Structure 1
Amino acid sequence: MKRIPLGISDFKTVIEEDYLFVDKSELIKEFWDIDGQTILVPRPRRFGKTLNLSMIKYFFENSSNDNGYLFKGLNIENHKEIMELQGKYPVIYLTFKDEKHSSFEYLKAGLRNILSKLYQDHKYCLNTDKIDNIDKEYYNSIINKKADIIDLSNALKKLSQYVHSYFDKKVMILVDEYDVPIQAAYVSNYYNEAIEFMRNFLSGAFKDNSSLQKGMITGILRVARESIFSGLNNLKVEGILSHKFNDKFGFTESEIEKLALQYDIKENLINIKEWYNGYFFGDTTIYNPWSILNYISNPKEGLKPYWVNSSSNDLVKVVLSKSTADVKSDLEELISGNSITKIIDENIVMGDIEKSSNNLWSFLLFTGYLKAKEAYRKDEDIFYNLSIPNREVRSLYKNIIENWFLDTITRNNYDIMINSLINGDIKIFGKLLKQFVIKSISYFDVGGYEGEKVYHAFVLGMLISLNDTHEVLSNRESGYGRYDVMIIPRDISKLGIVIEFKKLDADDDETLEETAEEALKQIKDKKYSITLENRGIKNIKEIGIVFKGKDIYIKENDNEK
């Protein structure tokens, strides 16, 4: 069996050292044949973007060493007209995958380093009379890391012109992970500076560049045309909702089945699917390649979250923690295993992710934290059914939600609070809930207190904490109305709970106790407990919880049948 290329994304190394290579070489033909001079291919992280771009580089590159041997026996050899292009073009290849910086000053230093290395790789350009002395001075300023930010922003376009002039042949430009510095800038609050640089840098190289033969840009997000690719009318975007390249990033069902046979893990195939598949690129089912390769490399370690643990997931945590009560309510549906229906917009402006829930769901979809299926059109909008792809990604949401609570209440107290609730000790539960609410108000509130945010955060906490022993339902129909929360024990001899939440404003005349009585009366009058009774649960507790600012009041009814 071939070795697993974990962390190896250089195509030449994978082939020469005989690592496992799942053949995606027909991507080369698709790239060459597709309309559009420049192709943007957004895919989630660690789905093979760098390896594929490296493969394209080695195929077209007219280096002094013939790279044709790297493609022996691969599927691309079946396309003779494409094989005639092998080794025929100069190639400029640049990756931003490591450019994650905490300030714009650090980003500029990082840019000087990678562009200096890029110019050194093409230093042959200086050995010609086709480049005048002024351009040679510019060239050396990039190599020596002396260029200012304006000169840096022109560096890719100028290099393509120098290479074009040297070879007298137009250039392939390949840019990998273009949005890594943008995401880092968003988290570290220098987003506008990073956007301005990347707009000038990429537009210069790919817009109206007479030295460009064809280009490919990879990243995670599409990002709105107006924010980066302004006026770039030769750009064609092929994202995860597209049917182009749909089987070229990540592993398909048939590829997984072959790997299962090859590495003798077929008996675990059902569990592998549950943990690592669930993505749909176009209409193709795709498995997470990073997690699959990690599992195959050491199956004795078992199935666990490899992909979600391969990054800090900072951006996901930031946008979710700042989300609205409606978003947290939708998260309850997702954590419960259900789907939500949302408009998806591929033209994301990262700076507006927090301003629109549709932007948030689009962001989570394109970054691999949701999957989309069953699209339908209503007027000019396209709606998708969104859900959590698999157990691995669900574990990330669970971790994020748990950390919300650990930031507001200790693990020990949180466990005691939840256990007190399901065991019917409402006095202890109420005491700890008050602590949680007081501390949560500042944590979950962005721009003013909203009791709904605390409420939904609390429900999310119950959903993940009680999943093994209870079914937690929120805002569902029962009897003659919709209850707020129902906790249904999987063991029907245990306590079932119905909770109705009420919120009082500061100028309301009702008292906390009166409102709690109203909550209990509502549970009784609307027969919310009938769902529990129909499940055979006899021990039922009905609870009214009232919020008023930082004050909280809890009242209960025992309703044993």
Structure 2
Amino acid sequence: MEQQRQLYPIGIQTFSEIRRKNYLYIDKTEYVYRMTHFDSKYVFLSRPRRFGKSLLTSTLHSYFEGCKELFEGLAIDKLEAEWTRYPVLHFDMSMAKHVDKERLEQMLSVQLYRYEEVYGKVSEEVTLNDRFSGLIRRVCQQTSRQVVVLIDEYDAPLLDVVHEEKNLPVLRDVMRNFYSPLKACDPYLRFVFLTGITKFSQLSIFSELNNIKNISMDGPYAAVCGISEEEMLTQMDNDVDILAMRMEVSREEVLAKLKDNYDGYHFTWPSPDIYNPFSLLNAFADGKMNSYWFGSGTPTYLIEMLNKYHVIPQQIGDRKALAESFDAPTERITNITPLLYQSGYITIKGYSPITNLYLLDIPNKEVRLGLMKSLLPGYLHQHTMDGLTTVALLYEAIYEERLDDGLRLLQAFLSTIPYCDNTDYEGHYQSLFYTIFSLLGMYVDVEVRTPRGRVDVVMRSLSALYVMELKLDKTADDAMGQIDLKNYPERFALCGLPVVKVGINFDSERRTLGEWKIEMA
């Protein structure tokens, strides 16, 4: 008999609805208490999309409105004694995506008007910042309480134009003017909380509010959004057993699959393991694992920025950087790392206290596969769907230890792709190989160091480790000869798997694999 399943708040970001309708709620209220009793009353939190920022903002809203009954049994219930009610101005900027200047101003005006209907408006207040400033003052005067301002996804109007030199400054000026009263109204404010994905330094919240507390990389807030492994194993322990039963695997197997697909996020170091909450809850709700987070939104701005900075697929992960290099203001970036990190496509995987360098890499299988699928059209154009079918058949061939059949399949497919520019160099085929083999869901790396040189491609399946050397317009013997001359397999002798040498020559005239040789090391 199947156990009763939990109600999962898929797409529900309102704290009061989750509590009143008995949806699963991962208790983050200890963080709410800590945050609201800071020395600084201005707090900023950056996290990737669909990581729980809106729910956290809604939780703060209910807390400041003094809704004590919603918090019964939660951590804050034992911490808070006063439950003072404050007036809350809550702005959701996610509705202002894909807009021009006029539409953005109209949407901001509508959000102000909701509160002006309650607290009134002075005719002399015409501009958005004058109306916002006047509203804060009137709310404070009429309620005799300082005002709480919550701004969720403050950067949403700017993300889609972050790569546009013309539109970004125009929309940024609108947002800067709108946020500017937050400093001037300091005496009237009890608490200001802003969430976002990226940092735009030229907005007033960062350039003028010099006392704003950015908790994005603070250790005590490492798990303020997302679901930590400890939270999953305690607050969702029964859910894990139900998922294992529905997938007809053991508890240990389902935990390993969840970790492989959705875990791996760290927003500081050291940090608990953080799971993507959107993907995790969807997997529990559906009883299966799928690409939920990546499939929930096409990262068009990310692809545009990857093209702008000429980033090839194998350069996305495995980066080392100082914190100020990846937690940097978006409009000042000189490479793609800050946007990749702040958007959740790479995350912290390690830290060296000697060099102060962080190791950044793709967090998990879901993100890696999603990224590669998004990048594949750059190589295959309108043949992308056929390419994904070929990848599936290639996976089957490698899984069954038929690499020769798989390469033959890839050779036939690539020969059908029409000619495109900039394919007559070895690096193009290395990038294409990396993208395709990454989609197999197996470990793949390029330019792997050995004592005598660098291996073009290393791929590990369940049954073997493949050491691949790629050549362009030469021969497979040339490629295999380099593997033997530099004894690349020696570097992987202790990997625990049979090592297979693969020498491949690409034919630039036919624009596909020419010949190859496969030998056991």
TM-score (norm 1): 0.75
Q: Structure 2, unaligned stretches of length 5 or more?
A: 245-250
Hey, what's the Cα distance between the residues in 2 that align with 1:234 and 1:40?
11
Distance 1:316 1:221, change over 3 A: same
Work out whether residues 149 and 193 of structure 2, in 8 Å CA contact, stay in contact via their aligned partners in 1.
yes
Distance 1:37 1:450, change over 3 A: farther
Note the alpha carbon deviations across 1:55-114, whole angstroms, 9 max, x for none.
2222223xxxx63322223221212xx331431x22211111221124333323322322
Work out whether residues 365 and 441 of structure 2, in 8 Å CA contact, stay in contact via their aligned partners in 1.
no
Note the alpha carbon deviations across 1:104-132, whole angstroms, 9 max, x for none.
33323322322222323xx2x33xxxxxx
Q: Which region of structure 1 is more displaced relative to structure 2, 521-530 or 40-49?
A: 521-530
- Match of 2:23, SS state, is coil
2:194 counterpart of 1:217: yes
Match in the other structure for 1:96: 93
Hey, what's the Cα distance between the residues in 2 that align with 1:465 and 1:167?
57
2:142 counterpart of 1:166: yes
2:375 counterpart of 1:401: yes
- Correspondence 1:105-124 to 2 at 5 A: 105-120=102-117, 123=118
- Correspondence 1:463-474 to 2 at 5 A: 463-465=437-439, 473-474=445-446
Give the Å deviation of 1:39: 0.4
Hey, what's the Cα distance between the residues in 1 that align with 2:302 and 2:487?
40
Give the Å deviation of 1:402: 2.8
Work out whether residues 368 and 438 of structure 2, in 8 Å CA contact, stay in contact via their aligned partners in 1.
no
Hey, what's the Cα distance between the residues in 1 that align with 2:513 and 2:57?
59
2:319 to 340, 345, 349: 340
Give the Å deviation of 1:371: 2.2
2:8 counterpart of 1:4: yes
- Correspondence 1:72-221 to 2 at 5 A: 72-79=72-79, 82-87=80-85, 89-120=86-117, 123=118, 125-126=119-120, 136-138=122-124, 151-186=127-162, 190-207=167-184, 209-221=186-198
- Match of 1:312, SS state, is coil
Distance 1:521 1:71, change over 3 A: closer
Hey, what's the Cα distance between the residues in 2 that align with 1:50 and 1:93?
11
Q: Residue 78 of structure 1 aligns to which amino acid in structure 2? A: K
Hey, what's the Cα distance between the residues in 2 that align with 1:23 and 1:105?
40
Report the structure number with the largest CA radius of gyration. 1
1:304 to 290, 294, 298: 290
Q: Residue 52 of structure 1 aligns to which amino acid in structure 2? A: L
Hey, what's the Cα distance between the residues in 1 that align with 2:406 and 2:6?
58
Q: Residue 93 of structure 1 aligns to which amino acid in structure 2? A: H
Give the Å deviation of 1:297: 2.5
2:456 counterpart of 1:484: yes
2:334 counterpart of 1:373: no
Match in the other structure for 1:350: 330
**Count of aligned positions:** 493
Work out whether residues 374 and 384 of structure 1, in 8 Å CA contact, stay in contact via their aligned partners in 2.
yes
Match in the other structure for 1:42: 46
Hey, what's the Cα distance between the residues in 1 that align with 2:328 and 2:11?
29
1:423 to 389, 393, 404: 404
- Match of 1:372, SS state, is strand
Give the Å deviation of 1:220: 1.6
1:278 to 257, 264, 269: 264
Hey, what's the Cα distance between the residues in 2 that align with 1:248 and 1:8?
18
Hey, what's the Cα distance between the residues in 2 that align with 1:543 and 1:310?
37
Work out whether residues 492 and 499 of structure 2, in 8 Å CA contact, stay in contact via their aligned partners in 1.
yes
- Match of 2:9, SS state, is coil
Distance 1:3 1:525, change over 3 A: closer
Q: Which region of structure 1 is more displaced relative to structure 2, 42-51 or 340-349?
A: 340-349
2:82 counterpart of 1:69: no
Note the alpha carbon deviations across 1:254-276, whole angstroms, 9 max, x for none.
32113433434362333223322
Work out whether residues 91 and 171 of structure 1, in 8 Å CA contact, stay in contact via their aligned partners in 2.
yes
Note the alpha carbon deviations across 1:422-451, whole angstroms, 9 max, x for none.
53899997797577584253xxxxxxx994
Q: Which region of structure 1 is more displaced relative to structure 2, 517-526 or 185-194?
A: 517-526
Note the alpha carbon deviations across 1:196-250, whole angstroms, 9 max, x for none.
12222223224563322221111122333677621211211010x2113233222
Note the alpha carbon deviations across 1:130-158, whole angstroms, 9 max, x for none.
xxxxx52146xxxxxxx5xxx12333222
Distance 1:293 1:462, change over 3 A: closer
Hey, what's the Cα distance between the residues in 1 that align with 2:365 and 2:461?
22
2:275 to 278, 283, 287: 287
Hey, what's the Cα distance between the residues in 2 that align with 1:4 and 1:524?
55
Match in the other structure for 2:27: 23
Give the Å deviation of 1:489: 7.9
1:475 to 438, 447, 470: 447
Q: Residue 167 of structure 2 aligns to which amino acid in structure 1? A: Y
Work out whether residues 246 and 284 of structure 1, in 8 Å CA contact, stay in contact via their aligned partners in 2.
yes
Note the alpha carbon deviations across 1:456-502, whole angstroms, 9 max, x for none.
4312233235556xx7553235684334346788777x9x7844446
Give the Å deviation of 1:314: 2.0
Distance 1:68 1:412, change over 3 A: closer
- Correspondence 1:264-275 to 2 at 5 A: 264-265=241-242, 267=251, 268-275=254-261
2:315 counterpart of 1:330: yes
1:363 to 310, 316, 339: 339
Hey, what's the Cα distance between the residues in 1 that align with 2:50 and 2:388?
35
Work out whether residues 207 and 232 of structure 1, in 8 Å CA contact, stay in contact via their aligned partners in 2.
no
Identity %: 24
Match in the other structure for 1:446: none
Distance 1:138 1:58, change over 3 A: farther
CA RMSD of aligned residues (A): 4.0
Work out whether residues 207 and 234 of structure 1, in 8 Å CA contact, stay in contact via their aligned partners in 2.
no
Hey, what's the Cα distance between the residues in 2 that align with 1:108 and 1:497?
56
- Match of 2:45, SS state, is strand
2:424 counterpart of 1:439: no
Hey, what's the Cα distance between the residues in 1 that align with 2:130 and 2:160?
22
Give the Å deviation of 1:52: 1.8
- Match of 2:178, SS state, is helix
Hey, what's the Cα distance between the residues in 1 that align with 2:182 and 2:446?
52
Give the Å deviation of 1:365: 2.0
Hey, what's the Cα distance between the residues in 1 that align with 2:238 and 2:444?
42
Distance 1:497 1:466, change over 3 A: farther
Distance 1:474 1:56, change over 3 A: closer
Q: Residue 331 of structure 2 aligns to which amino acid in structure 1? A: G
Match in the other structure for 2:248: none
Give the Å deviation of 1:342: 2.7
Hey, what's the Cα distance between the residues in 1 that align with 2:283 and 2:185?
45
Work out whether residues 47 and 343 of structure 2, in 8 Å CA contact, stay in contact via their aligned partners in 1.
yes
Hey, what's the Cα distance between the residues in 1 that align with 2:372 and 2:453?
30
Distance 1:408 1:423, change over 3 A: farther
TM-score (norm 2): 0.80
Hey, what's the Cα distance between the residues in 1 that align with 2:349 and 2:202?
25
